[in-house]
Structure 1
Amino acid sequence: MLRKILSVVAGIIAGSVIVGLVEWLGHYLYPLPAGMKSNDMEAMKEYIPNAPFMALFFVIIAYALGALAAGFVSTKIARDGKNIYAIICGIIFVIITIINLAMLPTPAWFWVLGILVWVLVLAGYKLALNKNRA
């Protein structure tokens, strides 16, 4: 039982680390305007509607890679071949994503992709299973 709980926690941590790293790369390649801080919600609300497409799309890429990592790590640690741990990670990340999306004026495509991309936890699950058989 402890292994199963730890698998979800590790999946959330792995996914979060990957999301953070890829978002950092996105901010490096598409920096915020001079003097603007990412924790200034009012400034972010003004910036997002005018942000370059790739600045926003990097967040979707981050979510996709985070989903793969969460699914992979949770499955590897659980070691029972069930996808429930990856699914739990995906549900938790979807909830966090919806909360984040509700705080900022993101476009409709961002909502759709931002939520759907978490299905990739199942691809991470499949990758972990394939590695087990090799």
Structure 2
Amino acid sequence: MINNPALKSAGAILLSVLVALLLLSAIEGISAVLHPFPADFDQTYESMAQHVANYPAWVLFLLGGIGWGLTALAASFLATRFGARRHPAHGMAIGILLVAAAAFNISMLPYPNWFVLVDVVLLPLGVYLGVILARAGTTASSS
């Protein structure tokens, strides 16, 4: 058991970042199976933009929307649950990182407007629910 609050917080953040990276890597791997790169893919921005523009809507919704939202929920839950005193700042910090990563990705590639809206709703919702669920059972005096 870690008694130092700073070490406990750092460990919680590190754990949640690792879990988020694992989940996002799995999402990308599944995405590559469901919507593979063409054989002549040349790894240029133009080729990537074309690939993203051709994503089936259901793949974007399932993996990019729901998958990223559930990743935000899991990572913010872990950060809050294992952070010092289950403080919500741990989960919010991870949430900010994930929202920033999604915003950067969305700003660089031609995703449809509906997908941007889905991410704007589901990522913060996932973070919020993760923090709330992790704090369940705590009292005002222990938080």
Q: TM-score range by the shorter chain?
A: 0.7 to 0.9
Q: Percent identity?
A: 26
TM-score (norm 2): 0.77
Q: Where do 1:4-83 residues align within 5 Å? A: 4-36=9-41, 39-57=43-61, 58-83=63-88
For residue 62 of structure 1, report the CA deviation from its aligned partner.
Answer: 2.2
For residue 103 of structure 1, report the CA deviation from its aligned partner.
Answer: 1.0
Asked whether the 8 Å contact 2:75–2:91 carries over to 1, the reply is: yes
Aligned residues: 132
For residue 45 of structure 1, report the CA deviation from its aligned partner.
Answer: 1.0
Distance 1:65 1:12, change over 3 A: same
Q: Which amino acid aligns with 1:118?
A: L
For residue 79 of structure 1, report the CA deviation from its aligned partner.
Answer: 4.7
* Structure 1: stretches of 5+ with no match in the other structure: none
* Deviation by residue 1:50-107 (Cα, 9 ceiling, x = unmatched): 3211232222222112112111210222151321111111111111111111111111
| Aligned-residue CA RMSD (Å) | 2.4
CA distance in 1 between partners of 2:26 and 2:37 (Å): 16
